[in-house]
Amino acid sequence: MNAFEPALREGQSGQIGRRQPRIEDDALLQGRGRYADDLAVAPGTLHAAVLRSPHAHARLVGLDASPALAMPGVHAVLTGEDVKRWARPFPVGVRQPMEHWCLAVDKVRYVGEPLAVVMAESRYLAEDALDAIRVDYQTLPVAVDTEAAIAADAPLLHEAVGSNVVSERHFRYGDPEQAFAEAEHRVALKVRVPRSSCTPMECYVVLAEYDPASASYDVLANFQGPYALHTVMARALKVPGNRFRLRTPPDSGGSFGIKQGVFPYVVMMGLAARKAGAPVKWVEDRLEHLQGASSATNRMTEIEAAVTRDGRVTALYWDQVDDCGAYLRAPEPATFYRMHGNLTGAYAIRHLVVRNRVALTNKTPTGLNRGFGGPQIYFALERLMQRIAVELDLDPLEVIRRNLVPSGSFPYRAAAGALLDSGDYPAAVEQGIHEGGLEELLAHRETARREGRLYGIGYTVAVEPSISNMGYITTAMTPEERRKAGPKNGAVSTATISVGPLGDVSAHVSSTPQGQGHRTVVAQVIAEVLGVPLESISVNVELDTGKDAWSIASGNYSSRFSGAVAGAVYQAAVKVRDRLAGIAAAQWQVEASRIRFAEGQVIVNDSELSMPFGRLAGATHWAPGTLPEDEPGGLRETAFWSPPQLEAPDDDDRINSSLCYGFIFDYCGVEVDRITGQVRLDRYVTLHDAGRLLNPDLVDGQVRGAFAQGLGAALMEEFTYGDDGSFQSGTFADYLVPTSVEVPEPLILHRETPSPFTPLGAKGVGEGNNMSTPVCIANAVADALGIADIELPLTPSKVRTLIGIEEPARPQGVGEDQTAPAAGGGSRLTASDSVTLPGSPQAVFDTLLDPETLQAIIPGCHALELTGENAYRADVTVGVGMIRARFDAQVALSDLDPPHGLRLSGAGTSAMGSAEGSAQIRLTEVEGGQTRLDYDYDAAVGGKVASVGGRMLQSASRMIIGQIFARLAQRMGGAAPRLSLWQRLKGLFAGRGGRS
C-alpha cells in the first residue's frame, strides 16, 4: 500500500484518534507488571556478577579466578579464555582490523569493561567473589578527549587499525563550492555535544540457558531490538539463528534506545550458562549501567553556512567527528547515518559538503539513545541559524522562515536524499507563533530586559525522522563497497491477528514496547476495523524469535510503532475483516462490500441482516465445511509491511534514511540568574506535526517525556570522564536526571498532516524533543547572555562563568598555602604542602628509609613486606570516615638523593577501585636544626571510587597524604608539625576582630 488510503473508511467506532486510557495500566498500577527481574526462574539458576576494569586502557597480563572459585556458593567463572574458545568477536558494519569480544581478551579499553563473570548461588555471593579474582594489568596511555584521540601521535586503542579514526567518509551534494564562492556571508561555528544517556529506570536483565544436546542458547532479556542484532548475537555465539532463541519479558522498565546495548550481555550470559552448566540470571546494577551500558555519542562539529544578505542559506559545510567509545558496536556508526538524508533539517538548502569521521576513545561504547543522532545534528544546525541571525543582525525567526522547505512542495527530496513525506512547515510555524503566544513572550522579554534581568528567547525547527531505513547504515560504506556487499534497504514490520473459536481476538506485534502503550493502540486499531469492543482484544507484545513472526527491523526504535507497526496491525486486521466479510457475504448471498463490522456485530448495510461477530468468526473453527471454497478455515493473519520508499543509498550517496519526517517548531523563554547562573525555563512551546495521531494522550505523553529528557541534556546531564579516562558519573547523585521540580509543563501544540507513506497516515513522535529541546534552550541562553560559545549542559557554574566572573584578588595571607588543585577537577589529584620536622635533613632522610618508620607512617598499614631494594608490598586500609577499603599495594622509595630528597610512590587495587600516586619530597635545612619537608604529590584513582566519590576526592586525598607526613613528624619529635589550615584560618579571622 503506497498511496495514502484513509483508514477510517468504516469510521463507526472512532477508536483511532481517541484519547483512550491505556489497557497496560491496571496491572502496572497494582504492582502486577511482569518485568524481567519479576519472572520465575528455573530451579538451580545461578546469579551472575560481572568483573569490570577499573582502568581506561591496560594490557591484561594475567587473570587468576581460582581464589574466587574456592569461595562458598561460587560455581563457575567465565573468562576471556572461554570466550575465545566458544565465541567470535561481534560483527560490525565498518571493515577494520579490530575485535570486540563480549569479555576483554587482550586489553581493556574503557572503565567498566567486562573481564569475567562469576556465577554463584546468590548475587551477594557472586559479588563477594568478584573481589577475590586477581587481575594483573599493565596500564597504557589513554585517548580520552576526542580531539586528542584523532591526533597523529595519540595512543591507539586498536593498534592494527593504525589510527583511532576507524571510518572516514566524504559527501558532496549539489554544487557547494560555487555556493560558497558566491556567498555574501559565511557564518561558521564549532560545537561539541557531550555524552549522555536516557538511563531507563530498569537496568539490563538477562536470563540465559544453554542446551548442550542441541547446542543451542535460550535467552530472555529486556532487549528492545532492532532484531538485526539477533544475527550479530548468533554469529558471536557461533550458532545458526535457529539455535539462538531470544525472548523478551511482558513488561520493560523503559529503554529509550539504551536496551539495544544489552546485546553483548546476552552473548556473555549465554556463554556463562554454558560454562556453569546451569541457567544464569544477571541483573545489572545502576553503577554498572551508568559506567558501562551505553551512551549517546559525544560529537565535535565544525559547521559553516554560505548565506545571502537576507539570511538565505545556500550551502552547508559539515565536518563532524563522532566519538563512539572504545569499540564500534553495532549498529554504529549509525548515529551519523540515521540523520544523514535529512542533514539540512527543515530547510531548503540544496548544496552540501560533509566529512564524517568516527573516532574511538577510551570511553564506554555508544549505541541507540532516544533522538539517535538528532541532538548532535540539530545542536550544530540550529545554533548556526541563531548565529546567522546575530551576525547578520536579523530576527532569528525570520532567518528560519526564509529557509524553510516551502509549502506545497511535498514530498520533498532533500539534498542528501531524505524524501520529506508531508507537511506545511511555514504554516506550522505561523500556527506555533499564534497559538503559543509568541507576541506575549517577546513583550515579556522586553519588560525583563528593561528591568535589567537576563532573559532570552530561543527557537528551533527540526524534522523528526521515524521508521528507519535498514539500509541507511550502508551509507558508511563507499558505493563500491556497497555493490560488493549487496543492497540493504526497507524496514519490515509484522503483526499477527487471530480469532479464536469463541470469537475472541488476539494480536501479536514484534514491536517490543518499553512503556509507550503499544498494546492500547494495537487494540484501538483492531477495534476500529473489526468493530469489536476494545476491552475484548488481547494484545501480546512479548517477542520470541523461536515462534513469532519477526524480521530484522522488528523492535522498538526509530519511533517506528505508529507509522509502521500500527500500520501492519491495520493491514492484518483488514485481512481478517475481508475474510470474514467474504464468509458472511457467501452465507447471506450479498455483496461483500455491503458487510460492516460494528459493536460486536456483523451487519449487512441497508438490511435487517446481522449476527454476532463471535458466531461468524467461530464458524472458521467449528464448521470449516460450511465456508466458501477459497476459504481455508482457521483465522490467523500475519501482515508483513515494508515501504518501497526506503531504498538503498544510490551511487551518489543519496539516502532516504527514514520513511517519515515529522515537523517540530519549538520556542522558549529563559531567565538566567545573574548571581547563581541558574537557568529557569519560563515558558516552552512545542508544536508537532506527526501526521495522524492515533491516541493523542499517548502522543502528549511521548512529547512530555522527550521534553524532560531534552531539558536534562540541556541543563544537567553529562557523563564525565577524567583526563585519565576514569568515569565520574557512577550514581544518580553524579549523573543528574531532572526531577519534578526542574521540569515545567510545556505547551504542546499539534497539527496533523497525514503521511502518504504509512497505512494510517501516522508518523513517529517519540524522539522529537530529545532533538529540539536541548538546542532550543541553548539558543535562549545564548540570546539572554549575548554569547556565541554555548556548551551543554548549561550548569549554573558554567553559565555563571559565561556571564563572567571577575574575581577580586586573593587577599594577602589568605589561603596561600593551598596549592591549586588539578585543573578541571576529576580523578587526577595533585597538590603540594610542607611540614617542618625536628632533626637534620640527613636524619629525616634516614628515617624515611627505615621500613619500620614507613609502616608506622602509612595510615592503616597492617603489614609491610620487603620485595626489593626500597620496594615493599603493603596491606593498607585507606579511607575517610565510613568509607574505607583494603588495598594490596606496592610502595617504593626512589630517586634517592641524600639528604636532599627522594620520591615516595605507591600503587594498589582494592574492592573500591585502583589508586596510584607518588610524592616528590624535598628536604631543606631550616633554622634551629630543623628540616622543612616539601612535597608535591600526584595521584589518580580509578574504578568505583572515582565513579561515585568525585565530590570529595580532592579533600580526602589531601587528608590521607597529609596524615603520612603528620605521622612522620610525630615519630621524629612528637611535636605538632605545624598549625593546620584550619587552625590558621581561625587565627586569621580572630585577628580581624572576629570571634575571640
Partner 1 sequence: MHARADQRIRVTLTLNGRERSGYAEPRTQLCDFLRHELGATGTHVGCEHGVCGACTVRVDGRASRSCLMLAVQAEGRRLDTVESLAEEEGLSDLQQAFRRHHALQCGFCTAGILMSCEEFLDRVADPSEAQVRDMLSGHLCRCTGYTGMVQAVLDVARTRREATVPDSQQENNDV
Partner 2 sequence: MKPAAFDYWRPSSRREACELLHEHGDEARLIAGGQSLMAVLNMRLAQPKHLLDIAGIEDLHYIERRDDHLAVGAGVTQAELLQYPGLAEAVPLLALAMPWIGHWQTRNRGTVCGSIAHADPSAELPLCLATLGGQVVLENRRGKSRRVMAEDFFQGVLTTDRRQDELITEVRFPLARPGAEYRFREVAMRHGDFAIVALAAVVDSNRVTLGVGGVADRPVSRELARHADPSEALNALAWSLGAEDDAHATAAYRRQLIRELGRELIAGGPRDEENAHARQG
Q: Which of 66, 138, 607, 797 binds partner 2 (CB under 8 A)?
A: 797
Q: Which does 729 bind (CB under 5 to 8 A by kind): partner 2, partner 1, none?
A: partner 2
Q: Are 326 and 363 in contact (CB under 8 A)?
A: yes
Which residues ranging from 5 to 44 are in contact with partner 1 (CB under 8 A)? 21-22, 24-26, 28-33, 35, 37-38
Residue 894 lies near partner 2 (rule: CB under 8 A): no
Give the number of other Cβ atoms within 10 Å of residue 26's Cβ: 10
Looking at residue 9, what DSSP letter applies?
G
Nearest distance, CB of residue 822 and partner 2, angstroms? 8
Strand segments, DSSP code E, in 543-635 are 595-598, 601-604, 610-612
Strand pairing category for 107-108 and 185-193: unpaired
Residue 121 lies near partner 1 (rule: CB under 8 A): no
Which residues ranging from 584 to 643 are in contact with partner 1 (CB under 8 A)? none
Q: Which does 253 bind (CB under 5 to 8 A by kind): partner 1, partner 2, none?
A: partner 1
Residue 882 lies near partner 2 (rule: CB under 8 A): yes
Nearest distance, CB of residue 451 and partner 2, angstroms? 13
Residue 2 lies near partner 1 (rule: CB under 8 A): no
Which residues ranging from 709 to 728 are in contact with partner 2 (CB under 8 A)? 716, 720, 728
Residue 811 lies near partner 2 (rule: CB under 8 A): yes
Handedness of CA 135, 138, 144, 150 (dihedral sign): negative
Q: Which of 88, 134, 172, 286 binds partner 2 (CB under 8 A)?
A: 286
The site map against partner 1 for 737-776 (x = CB under 8 A) is: x-xxx-x-x-------------------------------
Residue 145 lies near partner 1 (rule: CB under 8 A): no
Q: Which of 372, 459, 707, 719 binds partner 1 (CB under 8 A)?
A: 707
**Of 186, 479, 475, 481, residue with least CA distance to 354:** 475
Which residues ranging from 892 to 951 are in contact with partner 1 (CB under 8 A)? 948
Q: Which of 598, 880, 892, 907 binds partner 2 (CB under 8 A)?
A: 880
Handedness of CA 532, 538, 542, 547 (dihedral sign): negative
Give the containing element (helix H, strand E) for 460: strand 454-468
Q: Are 476 and 169 in contact (CB under 8 A)?
A: yes
Which residues ranging from 901 to 920 are in contact with partner 2 (CB under 8 A)? 911-912
123 contacts: CB under 8 Å, gap ≥ 6: 47, 48, 49, 283
Q: Which of 128, 218, 322, 528 binds partner 2 (CB under 8 A)?
A: 128
Alpha-carbon distance of 371 to 380, in angstroms, equals: 15
Q: Which does 883 bind (CB under 5 to 8 A by kind): partner 2, partner 1, none?
A: partner 2
Q: Which of 159, 285, 481, 650 binds partner 1 (CB under 8 A)?
A: 285
Segment interacting with partner 2, rule: CB under 8 A, options 111-119, 155-163, 395-403, 799-807? 799-807
Q: Are 472 and 487 in contact (CB under 8 A)?
A: no
Residue 253 lies near partner 1 (rule: CB under 8 A): yes
Q: Which of 79, 196, 364, 516 binds partner 1 (CB under 8 A)?
A: 516
Alpha-carbon distance of 738 to 196, in angstroms, equals: 13
Alpha-carbon distance of 425 to 654, in angstroms, equals: 23
Nearest distance, CB of residue 70 and partner 2, angstroms? 16
Give the number of other Cβ atoms within 10 Å of residue 859's Cβ: 17
Handedness of CA 582, 583, 584, 589 (dihedral sign): positive
- The contacts found for 847-856 with CB under 8 angstroms, 24 or more apart, are 847/968, 847/971, 847/972, 848/893, 848/902, 848/904, 848/921, 848/968, 849/893, 849/896, 849/902, 853/968, 853/971, 854/891, 854/893, 856/967, 856/971
Handedness of CA 644, 649, 652, 656 (dihedral sign): positive
Q: Which of 167, 301, 556, 729 binds partner 2 (CB under 8 A)?
A: 729
Q: Which of 429, 950, 968, 978 binds partner 2 (CB under 8 A)?
A: 950
- Distance between alpha carbon 379 and the CA centroid of its chain, in Å? 16
Nearest distance, CB of residue 289 and partner 2, angstroms? 10
Looking at residue 622, what DSSP letter applies?
H
Nearest distance, CB of residue 281 and partner 1, angstroms? 11
Nearest CB to partner 2, comparing residues 18 and 800: 800
Handedness of CA 228, 231, 236, 241 (dihedral sign): positive
Which residues ranging from 678 to 707 are in contact with partner 2 (CB under 8 A)? 678
- Considering CB under 8 A, how many residues would be counted as binding partner 2? 75
**Of 859, 898, 229, 255, residue with least CA distance to 516:** 255
Residue 698 lies near partner 1 (rule: CB under 8 A): yes
> What residue ranges bind partner 1 (CB under 8 A)?
21-22, 24-26, 28-33, 35, 37-38, 124, 198-203, 251-254, 256, 285-286, 514-517, 697-698, 700-701, 704-705, 707-709, 731-733, 737, 739-741, 743, 745, 948
